[in-house]
Every structure is written in structure tokens, then in C-alpha cells.
Structure 1
Amino acid sequence: MPNPTRAFLLGPLLKGVSRSFYLTLRVLPAGMRDPVGLAYLLARAADTIADTSLIPPRQRLDLLLSLRDQVNGGADDGTFLRRMAVEVAGQQTQSDEKVLLESLGPALSILSQLSESDREAVREIVTTLTTGMEFDLRTFPDECSGQIVALREPEELDRYTYLVAGCVGEFWTKMTYAHMPGTLKGSPETMLHRGVRFGKALQLTNVLRDCGKDLRIGRCYLPATMLDRFGLTPQDLLLPANALRAQPLLFELVRETLDHFREAVEYTLAIPACSIRLRLACLWPVLIGLETLLLLVNNDDWLDPAKVSKVRRNKVYQIVAASVPLVVSDKLLRSWVDGLTGKIEARLGS
């Protein structure tokens, strides 16, 4: 008999909290859908805890670590779930986020029902992702403090992009090998490496897109040593008028992001054309990410949080519709990607 709670969590609720990622989840092969969807729900709950600014950072960190412990099988007498309902769920303005936090008990039950290999994979990815969130809470000041802290070195940014996104590409690859053996062309080592680069491409895109907004809550992910090289400080980036002055820094990081996206493209094309669902699930983030980079390099106000370079919903639907008839052709997909990359590189002066 179908489990209605499981169906709700991995259906309507997942759709409500995952936004555009739900498009990707919907086309996943059946065996991958539940563990990937559940991992997303647990990670989203953790992210909501970490981002609830009405709760002091120290308290958020304590709740985040408690969630990680529960995911990894820690015992609970009900205290954790009560704390989530009282301390975090009540602060949410989005009803889906509130329902998710109040549904952590059933979500953890579903986790316990997965196969041992899937359960361990979900635990591993949620542990890594929450380590990235922990890094944020320990590194940056309270959002209301008026202070700004910048990462120090490019290596710190690279590690951060792994913790919050590169590890997702790694997880995705492991799930593909587990549930669709023989599907991926290329050695596991190569594909895991490409999967990590795939995730880093998407996260670096987010970091650049959201720079203006993040600065206003005290977070500068652009490393201080890079800022120094371009004669900039985090405070300089708070002024939208400095967007053109900071553009060379943006362009350097966009070039790095494009290098990651090239590996993401190779990852996608290593999926056989007959595996249409899995190909589409990887193709859409690549295309949307490249469209975002194109908007960014053409946005002379990229530091203004009111003028964020975000791909519009109707454009996303156009990409989805146009990709379906082309997904089986490596040549046509490369042509599409090369066209986008060429426009970005022309703007960069490459």
C-alpha cells in the first residue's frame, strides 16, 4: 500500500520547497528520485535553520549540529523535533518551509527505510552540506551586526564551493553508479572529478550573482587577497557605483567558473543519449547557469542587489522546451553551449 506521508513529502512538499530544482528531480529515473529528493529535503531544512536570521547564530549552529546528529542516527527523546517546531518553524514566513520543518520526523523515518547504501550516501551528503553551513555560521558575523567579513584566500572559496555544491555533484554521480550501473561513459574517478567541478560551477555562479545581497548581511565570498590585487575592499563592493571598477575581478572569477562549466558539459555528454531523463537533469542546470553568467557579464550594475542577474522563469521554460528535441544530439548540444560560452567570452575579451 502506498505511504501517503512519503508521497506528500517527496511530491507536493518537495515541489513547494525546491522551486526550479523540482524540474530536475521530476525527470530523474525512479530509483534515484527518492534518495536524491530526500537528501534535498533534509539539506533544505538545514539551510532554513542556517538562514533564519531572527534566531541568533549560536542557536542556529546548535540546531544545525543537532539535525546533523539526527540524520546520522543519533537518539532523540523528542526534544530536537520540539525545538525545531518551536524555535525555527514558527519563524518562517513561507508556509512550505514551515511544513518542512514540522515534517522532519517523517522525513527521518523515510531515511531509515532506504537501502543501507542509499541511507549512507544521503547521510554523507547532508553531513558535508551542513559542514558548509557551519562554516558560514562560524566565519561570518551576525547579519544585523553591520560588519563584513571576507574569505581570505581563493583556496578558501574553492573549499567552500565544494562543501555546499561540489559534493552534490559527487553524490549525484555515486547515485547514478548505484542505480544506473553502466550508464556513465568514463572512469568513476574521472566522473566524480567532473561531478565536483559541475557543482562548483553552479555555486560560483550563485556567489557572483548574489554578491550584492550577501554583502549586506556581512558575507563577502570574494577572497580578500583577490580584492587586494584589484585595489578593492569589501566596503567598496557595497557601493553599486563601484560595479564597473570591480568588473575585472568579476571577469576573472567568471573565467574560472567557465572552466568548471566545461567539465560540467563533458559530464553531461558522458551520459548516453538514450538516457534522456538523466541527460536533461544535468543539461538544464548547465544551460541556466551559462545564461546567468551571460546576464552577469552584461550587467554593469552587478553589485546592485536590486538588479540581480537572474534568469526569468519564462526563459527557464523556453530552455526546457527547446532542450527536449535536442537532448539526443551531442553535436547540437555542443553547438548550443558553445554559442552561450562564445557570447560570454566575447564580453570577457577572451
Structure 2
Amino acid sequence: MTPDQYCQDKAASSGSSFYYSFLFLPRHRRRAITALYAFCREVDDVVDDNRTPEVSRVKLQWWKDEIDRLFDAQPQHPVTQALQSAITGFDLPREYFIEIIDGMEMDLEQHRYATFKELSLYCYRVASVVGLLSAEIFGYRDRHTLKYARDLGLAFQLTNILRDVGEDARRGRIYLPQEDLQRFGVRETDLLQGQESAGFYQLMAFEAQRAREFYQRAHAHLPDTDRRAQRAGLIMSRIYERLLDELEKDGFHVLTRRINLTALAKLWLAGTTVWHERRRWRRAPPDREQSR
């Protein structure tokens, strides 16, 4: 199995919404973003699949060392071998990869967040930085696109947090800020025991609105000149915003069940997003796609 095939299998088997956005990219960008996604899955699995924090720390340190080897052109893992051409072809910064691993380490050390400001640092490391790397791979002209990528990543992570409240609670993790729980009168024990309290719906609706505001901010930052290059992010946004709609439509019963979109629904959303964006491109003046 080649490094690229390893990454492709890793991405396809995850069933992630991100995979469907990759399908519409040019081949060289698709290879790079698939390798980046596989890297994120590898380091995330270190935390989720290991019950012993000490073992996870050792493995995450190995990945930090592997990033050093990657940037010294001596990668050992199939994922970093596949990333080799991406870091040179798209000038991806080493510090961003370390930042992602630092975010995974936060999951070993911190299972509660007192304020949204604290949570924002976690979201930045595990999601916004991925968005910034993705923007480099997709290509852009206007640096406002980096603000779009940062805020869109945060919106994605907030959506994931809302979807996974019950699953995370069963692992002893509560990502919803403690200040928000107190505001709506929701106790930690309610979440840990899977019991919906009187204020739980209001809490979730508040957090969902916060996520929507980050989607809105992200789209406001994206210049028209970069919409075509960033179409994969627009596809992901459409899928994730639909997921947020479904969570709300279901009444935010996330403590006892996990809401997901079907593969067919994701593919349909991806296809219709591309169709709408192409109509928009045809109405715009001719412009040649570039990347940094």
C-alpha cells in the first residue's frame, strides 16, 4: 500500500463530511488535503483510542518528533510520507502541525472549560489551524480568506461539540463552557448521567446560535475572488450547517443519541453546493484561479 492509498483509506473509512468535499478538488490538491486529514485522524485517534494518558502522551510526542523528521525530509509514517510533497508544494508551516498536536494534548489534561475564551483556544488548535492549512492547500489571493478559514474551523468544532455532548460526557469530558451551564441552570451531573434538565434545550440553542454566528462571520470574510478556490470549504460549511439544523430540529436530544447525516445526504449537499457555486462563477467576470 502506498502512502497516498493509506491516507485515502483513512479518509474514506472515517465517513467524515470532509471526505465529500475533497471529491471536487483537482488531483494534486485532493492528495494534499487527504494527507492532512489523515494526519488529523491519526493524532486524534491517539487520544480517543488510548485509555492511558501516559501512553497517549508518549505517542503524541512521537508525532511531534515525526513532524521534525517530516520537515527534515525523513518521514517514517505513511501519512507524513504522503504529506512530504504537500508541505513543499503548498508551503505549509511546521508550527501549525505542532499546534494541532498541542490541541490533542489538551484533551489529556483538560476535561472542563470555565469560559468560552478557554474553549476557543482548544477550538483554534484542533480546528481553526486545520482550516488555515486547508486554505493554503486550496489556494487564495486575499488574506481575508485566512480569517474565513479560522472562523469556519471554529464553527465546525462548535458543531461537533454540540453533536457529541452525550458521547463526550460518557468519556468524562464536558466541552460546553461552565459559565454557560451556570447561566442556564444545567448541572454537570445531568450531562454525565444523560439527563435532560429544564435548561438544557436553552443551553444548546444558545450554543447553536453561537456556532451560526461564526458561520456568518466566516462567510462575511470570504472574498468573491477566492470562492472558487475555497469551494471545498464551502461544501463542508453546507454539510455542517445542515447538521446543526438537524440537531435543532431533533430537539437537541444529544445526550441519548448521535445525529448524523447520511452519506447520500452529504453527497447531495456537496453536489448542489458545487452547482450553485458554478452558476455564481458564470455570472462573475472571467478570472483565473491562483494559489499562494
User: Are 1:57 and 2:53 matched, yes or no?
Assistant: yes
Aligned to 1:108: 80
Q: Which residue of 1 aligns with 2:288?
A: none
Per the alignment, residue 131 of structure 1 pairs with 102
Alignment correspondent of 1:73? 69
Q: State whether residues 204 and 252 of structure 2, in contact with CA within 8 Å, keep that contact through their aligned partners in structure 1.
A: no
Shift of 1:296: 1.7
- Indicate if the aligned counterparts of 2:145 and 2:226 stay in contact, CA closer than 8 A: no
1:214 maps onto 2:175 in alignment: no
The correspondence of residues 8-47 of structure 1 with structure 2, limited to 5 A, is: 8-17=5-14, 19-47=16-44
Q: CA deviation at 1:27?
A: 2.0
Question: Deviation at 1:125?
Answer: 3.1
Determine the structure 2 residue equivalent to 1:288: 239
2:151 aligned residue: 197
Conserved? CA contact 2:21–2:235, under 8 Å: yes
Is residue 2:191 matched to residue 1:237? yes
Distance change (3 Å), C-alpha of 1:269 and 1:318: farther
Write the distance in 1 (CA, Å) between the matches of 2:79 and 2:251. 44
CA distance in 1, matches of 2:198, 2:62: 44
More deviation, 255-264/293-302: 293-302
Aligned equivalents of 1:15 and 1:232: distance in 2? 37
Q: How does 1:326-337 map to 2 (within 5 A)?
A: 326-330=276-280
Q: Is the 8 A contact 2:135 2:230 kept in 1?
A: no
Look up the equivalent residue of 2:40 and give its one-letter code.
A
Please report how far the alpha carbon of residue 330 of structure 1 lies from its aligned counterpart in structure 2 after TM superposition. 4.4
Q: Partners in 2 of 1:326 and 1:253 — Cα distance? A: 29
Larger Rg: 1
The count of corresponding residues between Structure 1 and Structure 2 is: 278
Letter in 1 for 2:106: F
Over 3 Å counting, the alpha-carbon distance change for 1:216 and 1:267 in structure 2 is same
Q: Residues 181-230 of structure 1: CA distance to partner in whole angstroms, max 9, x if unpaired?
A: xx54xx31x22111100100111000011101111110000111221122
Deviation at 1:265, TM superposition (A): 2.9
* TM-score in terms of structure 1 length: 0.70
Consecutive unaligned residues of structure 1, counting only runs of 5 or more, are: 76-80, 82-103, 141-149, 178-182, 332-350
Q: Is the 8 A contact 1:194 1:263 kept in 2?
A: yes
Superposition pairs of residues 264-343 of structure 1, within 5 angstroms: 264-266=218-220, 270-271=224-225, 275=228, 278-300=229-251, 302-306=253-257, 308-330=258-280
Q: CA deviation at 1:28?
A: 2.0
RMSD: 2.8
Larger relative contact order, structure 1 or 2 (CA cutoff 8 Å, min sep 6): 2
The amino acid of 2:78's aligned partner reads: P
> How far apart in 1 are the matches of 2:100 and 2:40?
7
Whether the 8 Å CA contact 2:145–2:223 is kept in 1: the answer is no
SS at match of 1:328: helix
- CA change 1:27–1:134 in 2 (3 A) is same
Is residue 237–residue 303 contact of structure 1 (8 Å, CA) maintained in 2? no
TM-score in terms of structure 2 length: 0.83
> Counterpart amino acid of 2:266?
V
Deviations 1:5-34 (A, max 9, x none): 244234445433464322222322334233
Matches within 5 A, 1:156-175: 156-175=118-137
SS in 2 for 1:242: coil
Q: 2 CA distance for matches of 1:7 and 1:245?
A: 47
Equivalent residues of 1:243, 1:301 under 8 A apart: no
